[in-house]
Amino acid sequence: MSLNLGRKLGVIASLITVIFPIVTVIASIFMAQSFFVTIQRWVANQVTPTFSILSAQLSAFFIVFVILAIVGLVGFILFILAMHQLSHYYKESGIFKNIVYALIINILGAIFVFALFYVLILSSINAAIATPSTLAMQFLNQFIFSFLVIVVLALVLAIISGFFFMRAFNKLGEKSDRDSFKAAGVFYLLGALLSIVLIGGFLIWLSWIFAAWGFHSIKPFTTNNYSTPSAGTSPIPAQTICCPFCGTENKLDAIHCGSCGNRLQP
């Protein structure tokens, strides 16, 4: 497995994850402003928006958010591939396995939370209809309870997922000797713990900046090019050269790496 490929995929994935929320917020502000300007002009009788105009604006919103969602998904897939490459390069399965565990928890958790949301909200409506004399208050109480249950469940799943992300980053940091990954893991878990408030999202976003720097600064294995000397003898230089791209040992006179094919000699 190529260290160079894993490093590049990791940098691209991390940068996408860092830029993604910024672009999303900017796009949301511009689209919301455009929509509200149309509504304000309608209220002021300056323009009467037709169904086609409102439909076009809503369609544009939907298309933009679909594109952003696809870009975000691509970034996460590249991150998974990067962790898979580096897991094989460092021969540490925990780097990749912990990310897979986090991914499974996120997918199953999202499905379960949405299903629970549907069931609880539906039961709230049915309970409110069954008691029409206290319709508004009954529905409000049921809705608040359902909402709190869903928020607590989502928070618990986010913390569990953050724990596995931290473990993956810690193992990668230990193998690559890059403290940036360990910092990324700590900030990610703290962000998950505080995800119920705004600062949680900021800490997770900050963790990806540390991850991007970690991927960028990864270096190949450094091996001692001396054979182990016996007692009373001097070290004998080993007849190998370490590839700066993938870390594979090659013969001292090799021109290209036998593993990744990159040029070894200047």
**What is the pLDDT at residue 207?**
93
Q: What is the rounded CA–CA span in Å between residue 112 and residue 104?
A: 12
**What is the pLDDT at residue 97?**
93
Lowest average pLDDT, out of 156-160, 230-234, 236-240, goes to 230-234
How far is the CA of 208 from the CAs of 20, 29, 135, 199, 212, in angstroms? 11, 23, 47, 15, 6
How many of the other CB atoms lie within 10 Å of CB of 262?
A: 14
Q: What is the rounded CA–CA span in Å between residue 243 and residue 231?
A: 30
Mean pLDDT within 118-143:
61
Query: Taking the C-alpha atoms of 164, 166, 167 and 173 in order, what is their torsion angle to the nearest 10 degrees?
Result: 150
Across the chain, mean pLDDT equals 78
User: Does the pLDDT of residue 170 top 50, yes or no?
Assistant: yes
Residue 185: which pLDDT band, with cuts at 50, 70 and 90? Answer: very high
Q: What are the residues facing 241 on neighbouring strands?
A: 250
**What is the pLDDT at residue 224?**
45
Residues 115 and 15 in one domain: no
Structural domains counted in the chain:
3
**What is the pLDDT at residue 41?**
67
Q: Are 161 and 192 in contact (CB under 8 A)?
A: yes
pLDDT, tens digit, 9 for 90 and up, residues 106-120: 888 878 877 777 776
**What is the pLDDT at residue 137?**
62
Residues 140 and 196 in one domain: yes
Give the range of the structural domain holding residue 75, as residue numbers without chain letter. 1-89
**What is the pLDDT at residue 1?**
52
Residue 171: which pLDDT band, with cuts at 50, 70 and 90? Answer: very high
User: Does the pLDDT of residue 16 top 70, yes or no?
Assistant: yes
Residues 119 and 212 in one domain: yes
**Beta strand 240-242 pairing with 249-251:** antiparallel
Residues 191 and 225 in one domain: no
Residue 12: which pLDDT band, with cuts at 50, 70 and 90? Answer: very high
Residues 28 and 71 in one domain: yes
Residues 78 and 144 in one domain: no
Higher pLDDT, 67 or 127: 67
Q: What are the residues facing 242 on neighbouring strands?
A: 249
Q: What are phi and psi for residue 236, nearest 5 degrees?
A: -110, 125
pLDDT, tens digit, 9 for 90 and up, residues 57-90: 667 777 877 887 788 888 889 999 999 999 988 8
Residue 54: which pLDDT band, with cuts at 50, 70 and 90? Answer: low
Q: Are 211 and 173 in contact (CB under 8 A)?
A: no
Residues 69 and 166 in one domain: no
3-state DSSP percent of the chain in helix, strand and coil, to 5: 75, 5, 20
Residues 204 and 252 in one domain: no
Higher pLDDT, 204 or 233: 204
Residues 105 and 215 in one domain: yes
**Closest C-alpha to 7, from 168, 187, 214, 183:** 214
Q: pTM of the full predicted structure?
A: 0.69
Residues 136 and 206 in one domain: yes
**What is the pLDDT at residue 124?**
60
Residues 157 and 191 in one domain: yes
Give 103's contacts (C-beta < 8 A, 6+ positions apart). 80
Higher pLDDT, 114 or 103: 103
User: Does the pLDDT of residue 42 top 90, yes or no?
Assistant: no
**What is the pLDDT at residue 222?**
54
**What is the pLDDT at residue 55?**
65
Is residue 240 classed as helix, strand or coil in its secondary structure? strand
Residues 159 and 193 in one domain: yes
Residue 173: which pLDDT band, with cuts at 50, 70 and 90? Answer: very high
